[in-house]
Structure 1
Amino acid sequence: MVDQLGGDLNSTPLHWATRQGHLTMVVQLLKYGSDPSLIDGEGCSCVHLAAQFGHTSIVAYLIAKGQDVDMMDQNGMTPLMWAAYRTHSVDPTRLLLTFNVSVNLGDKYHKNTALHWAVLAGNTTVITLLLDSNSNVDAQNIKGETPLDLAKQRKNVWMVNHLQEARQAKGYDSPGYLKKLKMDKVDTMEETEWTYTSMQAHKHTRAHTHSYTYSRKHARLCVTPPLSLCV
């Protein structure tokens, strides 16, 4: 069987060929009907493996054969995220960006964008490329951390300076932008308070209605003959 799973990584022959960068074998296996969307033992399909191992030509071939450029694997990662995190060559990332990849998409579990992952890996060349491709420098992950926050945690001066310059270039540190952020925060707090108040009022109204209904029901029971049964 062309898609027989096996080995320590529970992989198909196509997974192995992709991981090793054997484009010719990848082409042959696809001709014989191998399925590139199958997941290996680590939760990755072939396009994710090609991206994280830096095999740019295989990434291009698999996308040309119909693999979704934004497809998430079982780890919640897209090919772009893997390229930013595992490959310090800019070629896979540059290629994926030409396919109109969703550069600001967050992963399934951490909500890290490709820029977050590049910062986590200290992948400076890819950071520059992602910023040039309009990556959101203020995107927040599930913990509310931006790429700049992660760079500061790692005390990487180059990354901190580069990300701060990107924020300034986009006007994120301007008084007008900071005022807008403050107003948005106030609006969010007011909306939350209004929602809570409305819920409490609705809860009180339902309780009052229930009490009134019970009283009416009890009254009807007490006026129903025979009167001797009423307590």
Structure 2
Amino acid sequence: MSGKHLHCAVNINDEEGTRRVLQAGNVKVDVPDKLSFTPLMVAAQKGFTRLVNILVNHGADVNHKNGSGKDSLMLACFAGHLDVVKYLRKFGASWESRDKGGSTAMHWAADGGHLNVIDYMLRDGCKVDVKDNISLWTPLMRVSAVTGNADVASLLVKAGADVNMRDKDGKTPLMVAVLNNHEELVQLLSEKGADHQVKNEVQ
């Protein structure tokens, strides 16, 4: 039995195959694949809750990070697997963890756009206005720049996200939403107190 056997079993949601490899005792539960994903990361990303349980019960590290610094919680939040998110939190996964760009699980959840996951995260105490290390983007700024999802933005603002927070270039979420033609988001941010008079410090 090898790490390849374990990853093959996890990828196809083969619970018995996963148990068989782990019980053989000669494969580390956190063995990475070619992309530096552990079996737990794969199961979390795919939403295989029962496999997540099996792997954690065999000692999988819920806070292990891949090559880009992402952990299983970030992957589950992005993919929208609420049951997995709750399970990982129960076993010690941290909202404070950051990837190599400084993004947290909330940044990745905002990108994923799954409202039920974001709502749970907010109720569980996940910070809403944390900035990444590269552009100093908050999750709300990520919405303005990437998806334009007004429903996600509304949840974040309701939880206290600062609509006038600036990134490293002096841009606000409203400016970025305008630049990306996210019309519904522009309207929402305007209604929630975004300052139209703020000047872009790049100019």
Band the TM-score falls in, shorter-chain normalisation: 0.7 to 0.9
- Report whether the alignment pairs 1:142 with 2:168: yes
Query: Match for 2:191 among 158, 165, 169?
Result: 165
What is the deviation of 1:38?
1.3
- Report whether the alignment pairs 1:69 with 2:95: yes
Report the TM-score when normalising by structure 1.
Answer: 0.69
After superposition, where does 1:1-231 map in structure 2 within 5 Å? 1-7=28-34, 9-85=35-111, 87-120=112-145, 121-167=147-193
CA distance in 1, matches of 2:78, 2:183: 26
Aligned residue pairs: how many? 170
Over alpha carbons, which structure has the higher Rg? Answer: 1
CA distance in 1, matches of 2:186, 2:99: 30
Query: Which amino acid in the other structure matches residue 94 of structure 1?
Result: D
CA distance in 1, matches of 2:38, 2:181: 41
What is the deviation of 1:155?
2.1
Query: Which amino acid in the other structure matches residue 108 of structure 1?
Result: N
What is the deviation of 1:75?
2.7
Query: Which amino acid in the other structure matches residue 93 of structure 1?
Result: I
CA distance in 1, matches of 2:68, 2:42: 13
> Which structure features the higher share of helix residues?
1
Superimposed CA distance per residue, residues 117-136 of structure 1 (whole angstroms, 9 cap, x where no aligned partner): 11222122101111111110
CA distance in 2, matches of 1:96, 1:28: 24
Query: Which amino acid in the other structure matches residue 3 of structure 1?
Result: D
Asked if the contact 2:40/2:52 (under 8 Å) is kept, the reply is yes
Identity %: 28
SS in 2 for 1:167: coil
Deviating above 4 A after TM superposition, structure 1's stretches of 4 or more consecutive aligned residues are none
Query: Which amino acid in the other structure matches residue 129 of structure 2?
Result: N
In structure 2, stretches of 5+ residues that fail to align are 1-27, 199-203
CA distance in 2, matches of 1:6, 1:113: 31
In structure 1, stretches of 5+ residues that fail to align are 182-231
Q: Which structure is higher in RCO with an 8 Å CA cutoff and minimum separation 6?
A: 2
CA distance in 2, matches of 1:156, 1:50: 26
